[in-house]
Amino acid sequence: MPILVEPSLGDSRSKRADFLELTALFSSRGRSGKATLLSVLDLAGDAAVEEPIFDEADGSDLDEGIVESTREQAVASTFEELDYRQTSIGDAYPFSIDARNQMVISQGTDANHPGRQIYLFCLLASAIRSDQIQGGDELKDIKQEIANNFQICACLAAGGFLAGKVSSFGFPRATGDAFLPALRNAFLKFGLGAVRAEIPDGLPKELKDGGIDVIAWRDLPDQMAGKLYLLGQSASGSDWRSKSIVEYIPQFHGSWFTEAPAKHNTPAMFIPFPLQHELDEPKRDPFLTALKRRFWHEEQRFGIIFDRIRIPHLANLCLSSPLESRQNVESADKIENVGRWVDRTVALFLHGG
């Protein structure tokens, strides 16, 4: 059976929040809380813990009152994060946060709430990719399906964001099309741009997706040029910083089109974990001020970042739109794949598979 690795006091508030969500999801009671966090962080005054906590500056023992204050701050910041998630994600958030009693209550994996299933997928995928969830052969097939399922989530989020049309371009494609035929099909739907008839000598012959996973746009009523146009990269692993789509776009338009579809576009990065996963506690500013500054900083290199806080809500908007609109979003009909993956993964913990 897979194991859930416990967090440390030095982990970010976001990672500690993930742990509480996961323990609530895997618990037979469907809940976890302050006591859960205290027990795994050795914050409950366990007499068996003999190692003193040191001041990193001079190596001296920290006063117990200071240590206790630090512990309480860690718990408080974790629940601030959880409350932020609940407020930001709304109905697509699959947990209920009782801030007063510092409790996380799971709402289950109900297929009638696809936005919640997408959140759970992103939560579980993040934990598996970062080795917070570890296992042997039980996770082998689960891991192999993460990228394809996250591509579905990214397309749905793009559809919800633009309220437009989406082409799922990431490799491998469900249609099995090679690069140029798939590109030609996508931009026939787009209505602008002339894709090369063949790959010229000197350009890569075995190209998969040209660094582009999601192509999305919103038409104007007259169908003329000047539409909202998004190009996105879907990165389900911790190496997402090496995959900035911004650097691919000029090459994408310059190499594979004889007539570019547009001059202006919106670059985007889709990731299954919260951006604040890597954000330490600020020394002066409120946490949300620091987080807003981090989004501003990362946007300059990656474009709009769609993380776990944004994707479920936007995907829910897409999936709750009229059928005619959903049919314009490739992969919208594959949402059940995501739900089945979530159910299988949770079952490994509840029933050992």
**Across 332-348, average pLDDT:** 94
Coarse DSSP helix, strand, coil percentages of the chain, rounded to the nearest 5 percent? 50, 15, 40
* C-alpha separations of 353 from 133, 207, 225, 347 in Å: 15, 38, 52, 5
**Across 19-36, average pLDDT:** 94
Write the pLDDT tens digit of every residue in 50-108. Answer: 444 445 455 555 555 555 677 788 899 999 999 999 999 999 999 999 989 999 999 98
Name, in order, each residue with C-beta under 8 angstroms of 10's C-beta and a sequence gap of 6 or more: none
CA distance linking residue 115 with residue 200, whole number of Å: 43
Binned at pLDDT 50, 70 and 90, residue 350 comes out as confident
CA distance linking residue 77 with residue 12, whole number of Å: 9
In the chain, the percentage of residues whose pLDDT exceeds 70 is: 88
**Stated length of the chain:** 353
| pLDDT for res 173 | 56
Binned at pLDDT 50, 70 and 90, residue 209 comes out as low
3-state SS, residue 27 = coil
**Mean pLDDT estimate for the chain:** 88
**Torsion 318-320-324-330 (CA) sign:** positive
In the chain, the percentage of residues whose pLDDT exceeds 90 is: 70
Low-confidence winner among 172-176, 246-250, 278-282, 327-331 (lowest mean pLDDT): 172-176
Residue 333 confidence (pLDDT) above 60: yes
More confident of the two residues 219 and 51 = 219
Write the pLDDT tens digit of every residue in 137-190. Answer: 888 889 999 999 999 999 999 999 999 999 998 766 555 568 888 899 999 999
Residue 279 confidence (pLDDT) above 80: yes
Q: What residues does 238 pair with on adjacent strands?
A: none
